[in-house]
Structure 1
Amino acid sequence: MGHDLDRIEAAFGGTLLAGLPIGHGPAGTVLVTDVDPDHLYEVWQAAETLAPTIGCRPVLVTGDFNPTLGIQPRPAPGPPEPELRAFARAAESSEPWTTYRHYSEDELVHAGELESYARGMTGIDATALVADVPLPTSLPELERALYDRLLADAGLHARVLDRVRLVTQTEYWYTPDSVTLMLTPTVDVRTSGYWVDFYGALTRECREKLAEVLARWRHRWDARLVAAWGTMLQFQVGRPPTPGDEAWIAAGQLKALAPNLELSRWEVAVALPSGDAWFVHHRP
């Protein structure tokens, strides 16, 4: 492992990672500390570019909520290879959206409630678009009708987009006071989920399903995990979904994984094609 640290440190030369303290982390990881919170995204990008060279998948973490997180004097053993293979196999065979399912999927909208749902979190009233929808109806059906009709109304769509686009930009991201770069000892996206600390994946089974989400989002949207702050996950997205079915599907998955994301699904669907940063929030 000492040789690995030397090799990784050498690879950092000429990047924003050069000169930062580096050492052994928990469960076979490597930690790079003292990351400047004002440049955390650029630091992660540098490490992500080097991932094939150093053989590690990077993710930003914080000691703000975990004071024990820090460089250790000697390497801590990582999980045995058979355990990691079993984890990856279980993740790949899982169906994450049976576990991650937003509570609003089961809501019914009754007469007199239409405006409250059609106004959303932005405060822009889109009630007129769905005034003819028979009630009661399920909230997902109402929101999909609203979203489809909004796509056909360029003026109203632009007004909503102006209010929600921030949620898909890095300006919306949380920035902790203390930032550490964790290098997981694998380049495989699915396997790297073994080391991701997230409030929405407290059990081994949930962590396997989260790992499968990471793999599927990477494959479909080129969504790369940038940071895991315990109750929050932040992603860079290389292929944002297109408006329509793709954005609707992605919005539903994002809301399922992020029950504390304060936008309606139709608003998230409007926002997703316009930005390259996804924010997941799941807190007690």
Structure 2
Amino acid sequence: MRDTVRVLWDLRSAFRRTPLARKRLKPGPKGTIVVPGIDPGDSFTAWQAAAGLVERTGRWPVLVTSWTDEPLWGRRSAPPDENDLLLLDRVARQTDPWWRPVRPGEWPVTAEQTPYLARGLSGVDFAALRVPPGISRDDLNYEVYQQVLDEPLLVERVVRGAGRVVTRESWFTPENVSLLLLPTASPWLAPAWVSYHGTLGMDNVLAAVLWQWHERWDAKLVACWDTMLQFTLGRRPAPGVQAWELAGQVKTMARSLDINRWELAVLLSHADTLFLHDRP
């Protein structure tokens, strides 16, 4: 109890002169600290305030859904011990989260699917593109992606017409929000406390994804809404191989994200955020 009181005292001191200065703090599940009652319209500002103090607090902030001030994502239980976190950290660094025995993108495309896959949210339309019979979904997407990259005006049109997909404008925010302060400064260890529908029962896979994206793109986990994850990006993938690869990874993790891979790849080279959506 004395340790918890000390933690709360230190956090209140750290949050002085920030938007979290007068917020209530309370012990949460598995060694976390919860800041309930976050204004949904200003939740990103609250997250930024806590994220800017991680070096001081040693706690990574994640926005989560709450209801009547009680988190929906779990009940109180013992926090993971140091050995658990060391193991998760090691597995995250060694796991290939992208291996699949069969990838949906490798399936051949039918004539009926071609117009849908070649038409973008931005209005850019390659439905008339002539492709060989039996071409795979990924190969068709890549063909369209290369055609767009070859035309700067088309890139500009995609960014202007569908760019909101990779901005905070498209982010969902629930009516009730809490800020969860994890007892770790490493965002890729968040699966020890929160879960995502797309990787249920596979904490090691989610941790590996978070670690890879943190290392390559300085991706910082902002929110976990059960079926959605939201990130900021510190580095953008370059057009071409980097953006194409990241777009494929996002599509693997976000089966409910309704955008074709080629258009997502174009947008990611202009993105400062990532948004994943995977629902039942």
Counterpart of 1:163 in structure 2 is 161
Partner deviation per Cα, 1:128-153 (whole Å, 9 max, x = no partner): 5x42x322211101111110111111
Does residue 17 of the first structure (1) align with residue 13 of the second (2)? Answer: no
Measured in 1, the distance between the counterparts of 2:278 and 2:127 equals: 29
1:46 to 49, 70, 75: 49
In 2 relative to 1, CA 141–60 (structure 1 residues): closer, same or farther, beyond 3 Å?
A: same
Counterpart of 1:69 in structure 2 is 71
Alignment of 1:227-246 (within 5 A): 227-246=223-242
DSSP 3-state at the match of 1:197? coil
Counterpart of 1:179 in structure 2 is 177
Per the TM alignment, residue 121 of structure 1 is displaced from its structure 2 partner at its CA by 4.0
In 2 relative to 1, CA 67–49 (structure 1 residues): closer, same or farther, beyond 3 Å?
A: closer
In 2 relative to 1, CA 115–52 (structure 1 residues): closer, same or farther, beyond 3 Å?
A: same
For structure 2, the residue ranges without an aligned partner over 5 or more in a row are: none
Measured in 1, the distance between the counterparts of 2:146 and 2:37 equals: 46
2:38 to 23, 31, 35: 35
Instruction: Kindly indicate whether the alpha-carbon contact (under 8 Å) linking 1:21 and 1:33 is maintained by their aligned counterparts in 2.
Output: yes
Quick one: which amino acid aligns to residue 139 of structure 1? R
DSSP 3-state at the match of 1:280? strand
Measured in 2, the distance between the counterparts of 1:192 and 1:227 equals: 11
Counterpart of 1:88 in structure 2 is 89
Per the TM alignment, residue 67 of structure 1 is displaced from its structure 2 partner at its CA by 7.6
DSSP 3-state at the match of 2:231? strand
Quick one: which amino acid aligns to residue 250 of structure 1? L
In 2 relative to 1, CA 112–79 (structure 1 residues): closer, same or farther, beyond 3 Å?
A: closer
TM-score (normalizing by structure 1):
0.90
Does residue 250 of the first structure (1) align with residue 217 of the second (2)? Answer: no
Measured in 1, the distance between the counterparts of 2:114 and 2:176 equals: 44
For structure 1, the residue ranges without an aligned partner over 5 or more in a row are: none
Quick one: which amino acid aligns to residue 95 of structure 1? D
Measured in 1, the distance between the counterparts of 2:185 and 2:23 equals: 22
Measured in 1, the distance between the counterparts of 2:136 and 2:164 equals: 28
Measured in 1, the distance between the counterparts of 2:165 and 2:186 equals: 28
Partner deviation per Cα, 1:97-135 (whole Å, 9 max, x = no partner): 125x9963132123454323211344431235x42x322
Quick one: which amino acid aligns to residue 185 of structure 1? P
Measured in 2, the distance between the counterparts of 1:186 and 1:113 equals: 45
DSSP 3-state at the match of 1:62? strand
Measured in 1, the distance between the counterparts of 2:104 and 2:197 equals: 20
Measured in 2, the distance between the counterparts of 1:2 and 1:115 equals: 61
DSSP 3-state at the match of 1:119? coil
4+ residue stretches of structure 1 with deviation over 6 A? Answer: none
Instruction: Kindly indicate whether the alpha-carbon contact (under 8 Å) linking 1:102 and 1:256 is maintained by their aligned counterparts in 2.
Output: no
Counterpart of 1:192 in structure 2 is 190
Counterpart of 2:119 in structure 1 is 119
Quick one: which amino acid aligns to residue 119 of structure 1? R
TM-score (normalizing by structure 2):
0.91
Quick one: which amino acid aligns to residue 91 of structure 2? A
Q: Which moved more, 1:146-155 or 1:169-178?
A: 146-155
1:207 to 192, 203, 206: 203
Instruction: Kindly indicate whether the alpha-carbon contact (under 8 Å) linking 2:37 and 2:69 is maintained by their aligned counterparts in 1.
Output: no
Does residue 281 of the first structure (1) align with residue 264 of the second (2)? Answer: no
Partner deviation per Cα, 1:178-231 (whole Å, 9 max, x = no partner): 11110110112332331122111221xx11110111111011011100000000
Q: Which moved more, 1:220-229 or 1:266-275?
A: 266-275
Identity %: 38
